[in-house]
Amino acid sequence: MRKTSDLTISEALRDPLIAMVMRADGVKLDDFKQLLETAARKREPNASKVDGFINAIANRAGVNPTTVSCFC
């Protein structure tokens, strides 16, 4: 069972509602796939930067990083 309610790229590409919106907007499946894959590649490094930033703030404050609230 998945831990998140987010769609995977392959699920998004097969989703009928997304397909209807893409047709209405004139978006090609290959273009959408490329967009999702590019966004996924760019997202991964940013996540680690945010984690590092939160940990640095927590360490300076002397608290556990999991107790630090962040609205990023």
Is 4 part of any domain? no
Is 50 part of any domain? yes
Is 72 part of any domain? no
The pair of structure tokens assigned to 32 is 């959408």
So what's the pLDDT on residue 40? 84
Is 1 part of any domain? no
Q: Which domain holds residue 29?
A: 9-67
Q: Number of folded domains in the chain?
A: 1
Per-10-residue mean pLDDT of the chain, 72 residues long, equals 74 94 94 90 65 70 58 49
From residue 68, give the alpha-carbon distance in Å to each of 44, 50, 71. Answer: 21, 12, 10
So what's the pLDDT on residue 5? 76
Helices and strands counted in the chain (H then E): 3, 0
